[in-house]
Amino acid sequence: MAESSDRIIKQEIIDVLGPEYNGFKLRVFPEGSNDDQRLFAKGGLTFGFDGIPYGSCDAAWYFDKEWMDGYDKKKINCFPIIGLEGTDALNRKSSGNAQYQRFHHALGAVKNGLIGIYYLRPGSDKMQEDLYGMAYNASKKENGYYLVIQDLNVIKEILDLYNDKKRLIKYLDEYLEKTYKIFLEKFKKTYKNSWSVFAEKRSTIIKDDYVIKYAGRMKRNFTDGSQRAGHIAVGEMYLTKYYFYDKKFYYLFLKTTRDDVEYLDRHKSDDKEWFLLRHEPNVEIKTIDDIKGLEQSIKDKLVSIKDDPIKGSAGKIYNQCAKLIANGLKSGKYIIN
């Protein structure tokens, strides 16, 4: 049986850096343990901020010193430096959207003013350079630094420089700039250096002070255990948020009604993905009921397929309606309430 991604990443961390490095301690739990889901302040590997717990990390480096936890603003005698989320996705045929889905796991550390790291172990698939752009903007928007890496020696560099703040900041800034250039090259090649082209390809509408990302999300995505669209929705949320971090972000679920959202709020409040979608600052979930001016005939068509996958006849109906709605939102015929 092939080794799990979790086991491979954690073993590699221990092999490269050991249980302690340069006086800094490593916190990591065995494969299968649920201890990582506890908040860092309570002995786990989940960093929270302003009452929002973000995804659990695979490892963290810390030392013994008083620290103010950003989740509930309480002091503990354990000062974290780095929260790391790792994946072996590039060796498991995860070449696309799946790479975005774990971005938020290290984000809690960044919001706390720490260094969040997303480690994608090199493999046969190519890393999505979009991650470099997301991390760069998250570093500009939030309190700490977010690095996307493919070499664990970057962590050694950080820990070696930690007590020399000037050199550390220089290293982090230079790393961000270097990787951001890689993102810009991808953006030029894929989107012709145009946010309009980006918007067209990624179902996004860009306005002066807000942005709309529309998608065919449905209630079933969050209630059916076989569905993975909740993870996809969160990944796309953070991609859009950090590309347009200076704008209000409306995430428009075209196959969802206001009643569906209220149902999910009541019954899925403990669902990690749904909680993040509903509580991430400056992000609002919108439904077909929130489109002012939308014809009842279009709404009825979407409601008729709201529990169906977007393929076959349901796919044709969705694509037709989505195009009409997108054009209406761009022209101002429709507006988001």
Give the integer Cα–Cα distance in Å for 135 and 128.
Answer: 12
Per DSSP, the residues of 180-248 read HHHHHHHHHHHHTT-HHHHHHHTTEEE-SSEEEEEE---THHHH-TT--HHHHHHHHHHHHHHHSTTSE
> Which one-letter amino acid corresponds to residue 198?
F
pLDDT of 93 reads 84
pLDDT of 224 reads 82
Q: 153 and 184 in contact (C-beta within 8 Å)?
A: no
pLDDT of 231 reads 87
pLDDT of 278 reads 97
pLDDT of 63 reads 98
Q: Is 30 helix (H, G, I), strand (E, B) or coil?
A: coil
Q: Which of 21, 12, 18, 13 is nearest to 160 (CA)?
A: 21
- Tokens 């350079």 — which residue? 129
10-residue block means of pLDDT along the chain (337 residues)? 84 96 96 93 97 95 97 96 96 85 96 98 94 98 98 98 98 98 97 96 97 96 78 94 97 97 95 94 98 98 95 97 98 96
Classify the C-alpha dihedral 258-261-265-267 as positive or negative. Answer: positive
pLDDT of 337 reads 92
For the record, the structure tokens of 92 come out as: 């498991």
For the record, the structure tokens of 180 come out as: 């951001």
pLDDT of 233 reads 93
pLDDT of 175 reads 98
Q: Which of 237, 256, 250, 216 is nearest to 337 (CA)?
A: 250
Q: Is 244 helix (H, G, I), strand (E, B) or coil?
A: coil
Question: What's the pTM value of the predicted model, to 2 decimals?
Answer: 0.95
Torsion of CA 21, 55, 235, 249, to 10 degrees: -110
Give the integer Cα–Cα distance in Å for 173 and 198.
Answer: 26
Give the integer Cα–Cα distance in Å for 55 and 201.
Answer: 28
Give the integer Cα–Cα distance in Å for 309 and 218.
Answer: 9
Q: Where are the domains of the chain?
A: 5-188, 195-336
Give the integer Cα–Cα distance in Å for 240 and 213.
Answer: 7
For the record, the structure tokens of 235 come out as: 């990944």
- Tokens 């560099």 — which residue? 157
Per-residue burial over 92-116, b = 16 or more CB atoms within 10 Å of its CB, e = otherwise: eebeeebbbbbbbbbbbbbbbebbb
- Tokens 């990787």 — which residue? 179
pLDDT of 2 reads 65
Q: What is the pLDDT of residues 90-131, one digit of tens each?
A: 998 877 788 999 999 999 999 999 999 999 999 999 999 999
Question: In Å, how far from its chain's centre is CA 111?
Answer: 13
